[in-house]
Amino acid sequence: MQSLMRLLDSTAYCAALDKVVERAPDLSCIKHGILVTGASGLIGSAVVDLLRWLCKRGGFKGDIIAAGRSVQRLEHRFGSQDGICFVKYSDVVDGRMSSVADGFVLVASPASPNLFLTESDAVVKTNTNDVEMILSSIAGSGVRVVYVSSSEVYGDAVAPDGGHVEDVLGSIATDDVRSCYAVSKRKAEDICLRFADKGLDVAIVRPGHVYGPTALPSDKRVSSAWAYSVARGEDIVMKSDGCQLRSYTHCLDCAAAILTVLAKGARGEAYNISNRNSVITIRRLAEMLSNSAGVALRMDVPSQIEREAFNPMMNSSLNAAKLESLGWQGVLDAETGLENTINVLRDVAKGVQ
List the domains of the chain with CATH numbers.
7-219+248-278+317-349 (3.40.50.720)
What is residue 247's predicted lDDT score, i.e. its pLDDT? 97
Among residues 295, 219, 307, the alpha carbon closest in space to that of 42 is found at: 219
> 306 pLDDT exceeds 90?
no
Of residues 64, 24, 66, 20, the one with CA closest to residue 41: 66
Spatial contact of 64 and 52, defined as CB atoms under 8 Å apart: yes
* CA-based nearest residue to 21, from 49, 63, 62: 49
pLDDT tens digit string along 111-140?
888 888 889 999 999 999 999 999 999 999
Evaluate if residue 209 carries a pLDDT over 70: yes
Q: What is the mean pLDDT of residues 306-323?
A: 86
| pLDDT tens sequence across 249-292 | 999 999 999 999 999 999 999 999 999 999 999 999 999 999 99
pLDDT at position 60, please?
92
Angle at 85 between CA 111 and CA 37, to 5 degrees: 20
| pLDDT at residue 9, as a whole number | 83
Looking at residue 304, its pLDDT comes to 83
**Distance (Å, rounded) from C-alpha 143 to C-alpha 120?**
31
Contact 239, 297 (CB under 8 A): no
What is the sign of the dihedral through the CA atoms of 85, 90, 93 and 94? negative
Q: Quickly state the pLDDT bin for 243 (edges 50, 70, 90).
A: very high
pLDDT tens digits, one per residue of 36-88: 999 999 999 999 999 999 998 888 999 999 999 999 999 989 987 667 999 99
pLDDT at 3: 43
In 3-state terms, what secondary structure has residue 200? coil
Q: Say whether pLDDT at 295 is over 70.
A: yes
What confidence tens digit (pLDDT) does each residue in 163-197 have? 999 999 999 988 887 899 999 999 999 999 999 99
Is a pLDDT exceeding 50 seen at residue 2?
no
Residues sharing a CB contact under 8 Å with residue 303, sequence separation 6 or more, in sequence order = none
Assess whether pLDDT exceeds 80 at residue 92: yes
Spatial CA neighbour of 60 closest among 89, 102, 15 = 102
pTM: 0.94
Q: Does 1 score more than 70 pLDDT? A: no
Under 8 Å between Cβ of 339 and 292: yes
**Edge-to-edge strands of the sheet including 84-88?**
84-88, 63-68, 33-37, 103-106, 144-148, 201-207, 270-273
| Helices within the chain (DSSP H only) | 11-21, 42-57, 71-78, 89-93, 113-118, 120-127, 129-138, 179-197, 222-231, 251-264, 282-293, 304-308, 321-324, 334-349
What totals of helices (H) and strands (E) does the chain contain, helices first? 14, 12
Query: Which amino acid is residue 56, in one-letter code?
Result: K
Q: Is residue 5 predicted with pLDDT exceeding 60?
A: no
Helices 129-138 + 179-197 axis angle, to 10: 20
Query: pLDDT confidence of 333, banded at 50, 70, 90?
Result: very high
pLDDT tens for 93-115 read: 999 999 999 999 999 999 888 88
- What's the one-letter identity of residue 272? N
